DNA sequence: CTGAAAGCGCTTACAG
DNA sequence: CTGAAAGCGCTTACAG
């Protein structure tokens, strides 16, 4: 029972005995073009009967829109990256769906590919706007997009003209560190992604502030920059190398996300450290697995879905030409205490 | 330095002193319309100079395409579902990118919303085709789509006309069960999603076959159907209720995916079972966290990215009107032995 | 070898 | 209140 060729607005017009302009007006509730109640009713009925729905591409061409926003997310490494991105997808999807937009995943393996993809998105008008993650210093994506395609950054940038949605990462790391200090820790390690990422910079700053305010020294040798990005494997190697390097081991470690923390747990076990007795561990994100690790992971919850929801909502407003104020939103974080930090016995 | 209004094919034609048809022919390497080498060169140069790239929506309207395929994936529960879907997104993305297509996420909270979404996709021609996951018996999505929009199912269906890409789930569960039997287990529990899903049906069948062939009884009381879908929380409750229900506990448990297995580990710990000494655990999927659990999880690796890659590739062929043979692909699975099954001491 | 014209399916001034 | 026409930016027969 295949339905025959697609119903177009012309078919509806013909059957209803009106012009296509009238059909369009009725469907768009376009009251700049008044339509009598009777005509309106008739059109609606025919629309119903024929199952007519305007084609998105046709509307798009006419209106100069794609009704699509792009999410530029890393696909590497394999096995896959932080669950953070998946929460973000869900949040962005919520916002786009509410406004009748669609979401397209712009996946890339490395920064070069990401830039090429964004360039293509601009020149072929593949999407109406993009959401960018994890900005770095002198981020080449920003000048590429600026003035060419609306975009919102999940994270922080130096440029005040750019729309951003971010956590207060300084505060988040500070709270986690203070929690460890309150538990008596003085040698707290920090496993972080490269400092060129603002997120890493901000969190190290929060960690530093907490130490300073508690009168504890900020020791560079307790920091490890991972080789790569997120992931348990990466965290494992980073923390292992730290444990092997230090003469006096740390009594606690802060990891920049839960997958890295998972790797820390593994490295600690391998080196004979009991968590939390010999070593307290705190991660970030409150990923799905974190409550179910052994021991369950204390973590700073990042509301990635909320973050992405606001970002997508903001982006859609920009696309539709609304005035968007404020241009920078900060979403709070939350320390979730479980067993891995030793506060619960 | 905003670039001025978008460059169109007309601009290129004007500057190059040719017609738009010629520009289009050159760009599409459309040799049904011969263009002299000289003209061709000139056009290409102007294209380069002006930075012209054809707009995707315009091409799409003309060709009756969106250059978009949809991935219908569940967004619930929160915290999010099995990492399986994320691997699948990566795989599908790879295939679409290779052919210059884009991928759109059709996210839904429940089956009703999924149907509405698919209906919309059909009537508004939002995408050129869709990828469907986890088919059930009398799946209402199939008749909705059939004849209206190309689609490929990741999983199995009863209808031989439908294109599918699936694991050999019977075989996969059989191998895992046989592995446990070889380790001496006789009472093997199975935590599975509802049997209306073919995946669950097939895996229970493989489990049954392994038992039968080993001369062991298939005991219904050792099966637990989870309330819901995937996730550690869900697995925890299901397995806990099983442990509380049984007089004689199982010595091993097979869980339908690693998130459910994670929940089993937790329930086991709570009930005082040591894994793997008192209880062997095997999951499915080889999710990113599985190698890093305590103990690391033995699991049947499902190549979700490969699965989705093939499915997307198949879908793209269907969309482009190619003859696609065969219509059903089976991707092998692989047992990955780690500590949780007790085979490694 | 190249161009003029039609048309994909819509929406939007504009005229009546 | 309603319709005829233009046009979004392309591609594709068709004519010359």
Residues in B closer than 8 angstroms to A273, CB to CB, are none
Using C1' positions and the CA of A64, the closest nucleotide is D8
Same domain? For B293 and B175 the reply is yes
Q: Which of A91-105, A107-121, A313-327, B82-96 has the lowest mean pLDDT?
A: B82-96
CB A22 within 7 Å, strand C: no
Q: Which of B8, B48, B79 is the best mutation test for A, with the most CBs of A within 10 A? A: B79
The pairing of beta strand B188-192 with beta strand B252-255: parallel
Residues A5-25, mean pLDDT to the nearest whole number: 89
Spatial contact of A322 and A316, defined as CB atoms under 8 Å apart: no
Same domain? For A27 and A122 the reply is no
Q: How far apart are CA A319 and CA A67, in angstroms?
A: 10
Q: Is B327 part of a structural domain of the chain? A: yes
Domain that holds residue A14: 9-54
Residues in A closer than 8 angstroms to B303, CB to CB, are none
Q: How far apart are CA B259 and CA B81, in angstroms?
A: 8
Task: List the B124 CA – C8 C1' distance (angstroms).
Answer: 15
Tokens encoding B265: 């580990």
Q: Is A63 part of a structural domain of the chain? A: no
Q: Which residues contact A164 (CB under 8 A, 6 or more apart)?
A: A152, A153, A154, A155, A156, A157, A327, A328, A329
User: What is the layout of strands, in order, in the sheet containing B334-336?
Assistant: B223-225, B188-192, B252-255, B280-284, B298-301, B334-336
Q: How far apart are CA B259 and CA A313, in angstroms?
A: 31
Residues in A closer than 8 angstroms to B97, CB to CB, are 107
Same domain? For B226 and B102 the reply is no
* CATH number of the domain bearing residue A310: 3.40.50.2300
Query: For chain A, what is the domain count?
Result: 3
The pairing of beta strand A252-255 with beta strand A298-301: unpaired
Nucleotides of D under 7 A from a protein CB: 1-5, 7-14
B332: left (phi over 0), alpha (psi -120 to 50) or beta: beta
Same domain? For B43 and B160 the reply is no
Same domain? For B146 and B187 the reply is no
Q: Is A181 part of a structural domain of the chain? A: yes
Give the one of A3, A125, A293 whose C-beta lies nearest to B56's C-beta.
A125
Residues in A closer than 8 angstroms to B87, CB to CB, are 79-80
Q: Is A283 part of a structural domain of the chain? A: yes
Same domain? For A83 and A151 the reply is yes
Q: What is the secondary structure of A122-176 as a DSSP string? A: HHTT--SEEEEES-BTT-THHHHHTTTS-EEEES--S-TTS-EEEE-HHHHHHHH
CB B61 within 7 Å, strand C: yes
Same domain? For A79 and A37 the reply is no
The answer to whether B105 contacts A89, with C-beta atoms less than 8 Å apart, is yes
Q: How far apart are CA A65 and CA A63, in angstroms?
A: 5
Q: Is B29 part of a structural domain of the chain? A: yes
A228 against B270, higher pLDDT? B270
* CATH number of the domain bearing residue A31: 1.10.260.40
Spatial contact of A7 and A46, defined as CB atoms under 8 Å apart: no
Question: Which residues lie across from A107 on neighbouring strands?
Answer: A73
Spatial contact of A54 and A257, defined as CB atoms under 8 Å apart: no
Residues in B closer than 8 angstroms to A6, CB to CB, are 125
Residue B124 CA: distances (Å) to CA of B66, B107, B320: 11, 17, 19
Q: Is B62 part of a structural domain of the chain? A: no
Give the closest residue to B338 by CA, choosing from B255, B276, B278. Answer: B276
Enter the DSSP assignment of B158: S
Q: Is A1 part of a structural domain of the chain? A: no
The answer to whether A288 contacts B231, with C-beta atoms less than 8 Å apart, is yes
Same domain? For A281 and A175 the reply is yes
Question: Which residues lie across from B72 on neighbouring strands?
Answer: B106, B132
Interface list for B 6-65 with A (CB within 8 A):
6, 51, 53-58, 60-61
pLDDT (tens, 9 = 90+) of chain B, 345 residues, equals 234 468 999 999 999 999 899 999 899 876 666 788 888 899 999 999 999 999 999 999 999 999 999 999 888 655 455 678 888 999 999 999 989 999 999 999 888 999 999 999 999 999 999 999 999 999 999 999 999 999 999 999 999 999 999 999 999 999 999 999 999 999 999 999 999 999 999 999 999 999 999 999 999 999 999 998 888 899 999 999 999 999 999 999 999 999 999 999 999 999 999 999 999 999 999 988 888 888 899 999 999 999 999 999 999 999 999 989 889 999 999 999 999 999 876
Tokens encoding A303: 């509301």
Same domain? For B103 and B189 the reply is no
Give the one of A56, A126, A259 whose C-beta lies nearest to B56's C-beta.
A126
A62: left (phi over 0), alpha (psi -120 to 50) or beta: alpha
Same domain? For B272 and B290 the reply is yes
Banded pLDDT at A4 (limits 50, 70, 90): very low
The answer to whether B123 contacts A51, with C-beta atoms less than 8 Å apart, is yes
Q: How far apart are CA A336 and CA A298, in angstroms?
A: 6
Residue of chain B whose alpha carbon sits nearest to that of A303:
B79
Same domain? For B201 and B222 the reply is yes
Q: Is A195 part of a structural domain of the chain? A: yes
Same domain? For A160 and A189 the reply is no
Q: Does A246 touch chain B (CB under 8 A)?
A: no
For B40-78, the pLDDT digits (tens) are 899 999 999 999 999 999 999 999 999 999 999 888 655
């Amino acid at each position: 029972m295949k339905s025959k060729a697609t119903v177009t607005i012309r078919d509806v017009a013909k059957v209803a005995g009106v012009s296509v302009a009238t059909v369009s007006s009725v469907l768009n509730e376009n009251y700049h073009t008044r339509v009598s109640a009777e005509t309106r009713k008739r059109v609606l009925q025919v629309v119903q009967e024929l199952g007519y729905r305007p084609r998105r591409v046709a509307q798009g061409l006419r209106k100069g829109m794609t009704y699509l926003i792009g999410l530029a997310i890393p696909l590497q490494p394999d096995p896959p990256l932080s669950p953070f991105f998946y929460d973000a997808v869900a949040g962005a999807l919520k916002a786009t769906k509410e406004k009748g937009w669609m979401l397209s995943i712009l996946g890339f393996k490395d920064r070069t590919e990401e830039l090429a993809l964004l360039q293509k998105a601009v020149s072929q008008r593949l999407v109406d706007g993009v959401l960018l993650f994890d900005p770095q210093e002198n981020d080449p994506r920003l000048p590429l997009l600026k003035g060419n395609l609306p975009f919102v950054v999940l994270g922080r940038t130096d440029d005040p003209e750019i729309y951003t949605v971010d956590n207060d990462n300084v505060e988040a790391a500070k709270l986690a560190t203070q929690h460890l200090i309150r538990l008596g820790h003085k040698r707290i390690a920090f496993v972080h992604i490269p400092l060129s990422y603002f997120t890493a910079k901000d969190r190290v700053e929060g960690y530093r502030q907490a130490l300073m305010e508690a009168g504890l020294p900020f020791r560079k040798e307790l920091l490890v920059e991972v080789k790569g990005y997120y992931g348990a494997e990466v965290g494992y190697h980073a923390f292992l190398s730290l444990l092997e390097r230090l003469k006096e081991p740390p009594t606690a470690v802060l990891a920049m996300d839960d997958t890295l923390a998972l790797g820390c747990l593994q490295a600690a076990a391998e080196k004979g450290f009991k968590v939390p007795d010999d070593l307290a561990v705190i991660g970030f994100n409150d990923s799905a697995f974190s409550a179910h690790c052994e021991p369950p992971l204390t973590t700073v919850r990042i509301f990635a879905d909320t973050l992405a929801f606001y970002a997508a909502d903001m982006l859609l407003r920009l696309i539709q030409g609304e005035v968007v104020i404020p241009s920078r939103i900060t979403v709070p974080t939350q320390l979730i205490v479980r067993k891995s930090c030793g506060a619960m016995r």
